[in-house]
Structure 1
Amino acid sequence: MTATIAADRAADTRRVSVARGYRFELVKLVSQWRIRLLVLACWVAPALFVAAVSQQSSLPVDTLFGRWMHATGWAGPLVTLGFSGTWALPLLTSVVAGDVFAAEDRLGTWRHLLVAVRSPRRIFAAKALSSLTVILLLVAGLACSSAAGGVVAVGNQPLVGLDGHLLTPGGAAGTTLLAWVCVLAPTLALAAIGLLGSVALGRSPMGLLLPALVALAMQLAQMLPLPVAVRLALPGYTFIAWNGLFTSPRQLGPLLIGIVVSLVWAVIATALAYLLFLRRDFTNLTYEGSGRRALTVGALPLVGLLAVTVGVVSVATPATGSGIEQEKLQRSVATAFAHLYRMQTEQLNRPDVTEEQLKATATCNKGGGKLTPEGPGNDWRCVVSWHLPDVEAAGSAIYQLDVTPDGRFVADGDGPKEVNGYFLVQTPTGDAPNPLWQFDGNVELLHTTKG
């Protein structure tokens, strides 16, 4: 009898495994009504949005790939990805990771959890893994739902890349999936910052808002004419750098740097949250946050990490200044024009011509030639010239460009009318969108790719 009682007491004092704690925390998360609503919204709303917008007469042409939502179902998930990186993913990480520890402070349930699990380390691991699982579920919902809505509403058609080249339906599907996978890195960085804020600030609402505020600050920074090294060193740059997957050849340099920086931020922020969690006093029922320790152990190391990443990227990359240079822009515009000219030729049932035969070139200046031809701005002007086989006179077209600090540009056709001066072209089967009227492009910030 005594042996049985001793065995029961030993079983009672045995620590709960991480796996059991993870299942318990996951059930706690998905039982919350706001989490269930988020899961439902992420798996349903993008499909409805993409299907509805694809059937409208006016498209979100100011959004990357928005102008192609009538042409292919794979433009929809990319429009959703752009919106998600700006707004949805920061808010989702705030709601999930930014509240996973603070909820216990508001409810006053830490002592019950500690008695049940008997290990702060296992509690931290269980909560971090459960929040990560929910975030991955939400991201998967956004990607799958938007892709399904686009393909069902428009169809599995080829996609026009950022340099005008045509991706096959299979290539568009694979590249779109890869783009969504890449943005998991900055999402993990924001989630880790949310964990840090939730641990350091306790029941304060600032912990819940921290990932969204950090994401907003990074977005504002990306709008400024920052040096390339500073831009790439921000953990949210991958939310922009996935654009390089849709050029040929792919602009992988900025993307890989952005992924590495984001993962480093995710690891460091999670480690800081772990250290703060192990040091906190769970006997204080009125705990309001770590105070000065949150600054010294939480914020200051992240500021130092930013300085280190800026220094490392500055040394490792050859680009200086904004990275937007006249030669790079001219090459990007000429390449995109050549690809899209072939598309227009096919629309009009004209004899096929290759990019090598066209020999398209672009001459660009800024501010009418009065400003130094570098950096972002909406005062770029390009004249594109090309040659057709057996035609002595060269063709030319004018474009007004708006180049953003992150290297993306929109080229707006300014004549002649039969080439790029009107948004429709007359084809044998009726009017169709003119691919040369307006098009999006991307300047590679790190180095010039010969192509």
Structure 2
Amino acid sequence: MTPAAPGNRTASRPVSVARGYRFEVVKLVSQWRVRLLVLACWIAPALFVAGVSEQSTLPTDTLFGRWMHATGWAGPLVTLGFAGTWALPLLTSVVAGDVFAAEDRLGTWRHLLVVVRSPRRIFAAKTLAGLTVILLLVAGLAVSSTVGGLLAVGDRPLVGLDGRLLAPGDAAVKVLLAWVCVLAPTLALAGIGLLGSVALGRSPMGLLLPALVALAMQLAQMLPLPVAVRLALPGDAFVDWKGLFTSPAQLTPLLIGIAVSLVWAVTATALAYVLFLLRDFTNPADDGSARRAVTAGVLPLAALLGATVAVVAATTTAQGSGIEQTKVERSLATEFAHLYRMQTRQLHRPAVTEARLRATAACGKAGVQDGARGPGNDWRCVVSWHLPGVAATGSAVYQLDITADGRFVADGDGPKEVNGYFLVRTPTGDAPNPLWQFDGDVDLLSTSPKG
């Protein structure tokens, strides 16, 4: 037998992962819908943030939405809240949920295998290509919304969720960290998308799976679930980034959420890899087994959820909903003291420190004055404080709406000169009253002080 020519031996080698990766990236970016998403993610957030910042009505139902007139750093955080709820699940569905299913619809698996000659390299190249495009889309959302906010409003201090004023440099670092943190749950959804794309083949359910999982998690997060169950959900880090904007930062829930999300991302991707290697590519009609999808996809992820709930419950002090009367009172009093100082500066009154104010809060819920707990919009609190040299004790009433994830909105209910009106009269004209309405956060894992 005549030896094969060197050129033939080179042509018979399997395609490397790097070459396959470049090919898959080009193939993804050449799709019109992916190009449209990239364009939208790099342009639309800037236009949205700049447009909203010029409006008289702000999205006050979104975290930091009420501060979009005050600082450009509020814009990327408002965008982040929207992205975690809607944009990122849909983006992962379009990219990761279709990266394998597209070959089933087009019937090109055999051609791809003839060229690459390695299912493992195909899986690696497609996974890395999908991840690259997803990271490009997330980067576009972050950069575009930040640029839009800074150009429209400016590089000004940001009010945190505990009332402290963050310098522009500190705000920039925290905004960047918040966007980096949501990469973990985004990767978890991407892993689920890869699993659905492999297991369900040309079925449209594979494309919708990340969005449906994200929707299910959002519905679950609205329920008064135990803290251990909430933290075990792979999408909890989409909301726990808010802990970066308190002092001290509420890092424990965020780190748990990131760790859980990464475990889900690795597990779902590994399951997709196993299912992909078990596929019968010689049969064009075979795009996966329904029984195999359940046994190697759904059941392992259900077991993972149960395991993470057990681990979180065993390794944290989490009990019940995590929303307790003493925690609410402590958070409200701390934030009120910081915002009172802000109002004092607005009115050009003598400066006073938080320590000298000695602000305290007394809260009740739906008639329960002692031992109130749980989310709801029926919390009522009275904040008291002391001014140096003044014998009388000041007091202000607030209605609180606390969601199951610990975020609360405090709505001032008088007196008018303190928190009963949305404007205050300053020597330079009317200005927004920082004590009228504000967002806060209860640390679900903190320990209630005794005594």
User: Is the TM-score greater than 0.5?
Assistant: yes
1:9 aligned residue: 8
Aligned residue runs from structure 1 range 18-417, under 5 A: 18-369=17-368, 373-417=372-416
Amino acid at match of 1:267: V
Amino acid at match of 1:188: L
2:439 aligned residue: 440
Contact 1:25–1:130, Cα closer than 8 Å, also in 2: yes
Report the TM-score when normalising by structure 1. 0.98
State the Cα deviation string for residues 343-389 of structure 1 (Å, max 9, x = none).
00000000111000100000000013378500001100000000011
- Tell me how far apart the structure 2 counterparts of residues 422 and 432 of structure 1 sit (CA, whole Å): 11
- Tell me how far apart the structure 2 counterparts of residues 367 and 33 of structure 1 sit (CA, whole Å): 54
Q: How many residues align?
A: 449
3-state SS of paired residue (1:402): strand
Amino acid at match of 2:258: I
Q: Percent identity?
A: 78
Tell which deviates more after alignment, 221-230 or 440-449: 440-449
Contact 1:358–1:388, Cα closer than 8 Å, also in 2: yes
Residues 340, 158 of structure 1: alpha-carbon distance in 2 compared, 3 angstrom cutoff: same
Contact 2:241–2:254, Cα closer than 8 Å, also in 1: yes
State the Cα deviation string for residues 299-348 of structure 1 (Å, max 9, x = none).
10000000000000000111200000000000000001000000000000
Amino acid at match of 1:142: L
State the Cα deviation string for residues 432-451 of structure 1 (Å, max 9, x = none).
0000000000000011388x
Amino acid at match of 1:152: L
3-state SS of paired residue (1:270): helix
- Tell me how far apart the structure 1 counterparts of residues 86 and 286 of structure 2 sit (CA, whole Å): 31
Contact 2:326–2:448, Cα closer than 8 Å, also in 1: no
Contact 1:399–1:413, Cα closer than 8 Å, also in 2: yes
- In the TM superposition, residue 289 of structure 1 has moved relative to its aligned partner by 2.7
Contact 2:325–2:371, Cα closer than 8 Å, also in 1: no
- In the TM superposition, residue 291 of structure 1 has moved relative to its aligned partner by 1.1
Amino acid at match of 1:171: D
Contact 2:279–2:287, Cα closer than 8 Å, also in 1: no
3-state SS of paired residue (1:324): coil
State the Cα deviation string for residues 216-263 of structure 1 (Å, max 9, x = none).
000000000000000000000000100000001000010000000000
Give unmatched runs, 5+ long, in structure 1: none
3-state SS of paired residue (2:5): helix
- In the TM superposition, residue 178 of structure 1 has moved relative to its aligned partner by 0.3
3-state SS of paired residue (2:399): strand
Amino acid at match of 2:138: V
Contact 1:94–1:210, Cα closer than 8 Å, also in 2: yes
- Tell me how far apart the structure 2 counterparts of residues 302 and 181 of structure 1 sit (CA, whole Å): 25
3-state SS of paired residue (1:111): helix
Contact 1:90–1:190, Cα closer than 8 Å, also in 2: yes
Amino acid at match of 2:355: E
3-state SS of paired residue (2:207): helix
Contact 2:379–2:400, Cα closer than 8 Å, also in 1: yes
State the Cα deviation string for residues 394-428 of structure 1 (Å, max 9, x = none).
10000000000110000000000000000000011
3-state SS of paired residue (1:381): strand
- Tell me how far apart the structure 1 counterparts of residues 447 and 62 of structure 2 sit (CA, whole Å): 25
3-state SS of paired residue (1:99): coil
Contact 1:368–1:381, Cα closer than 8 Å, also in 2: no
Contact 2:324–2:371, Cα closer than 8 Å, also in 1: no
Residues 71, 390 of structure 1: alpha-carbon distance in 2 compared, 3 angstrom cutoff: same
Contact 1:204–1:289, Cα closer than 8 Å, also in 2: no
- Tell me how far apart the structure 2 counterparts of residues 268 and 352 of structure 1 sit (CA, whole Å): 55
Contact 1:366–1:372, Cα closer than 8 Å, also in 2: no
- Tell me how far apart the structure 2 counterparts of residues 319 and 306 of structure 1 sit (CA, whole Å): 17
Contact 2:237–2:257, Cα closer than 8 Å, also in 1: yes
Report the TM-score when normalising by structure 2. 0.98
3-state SS of paired residue (2:415): coil
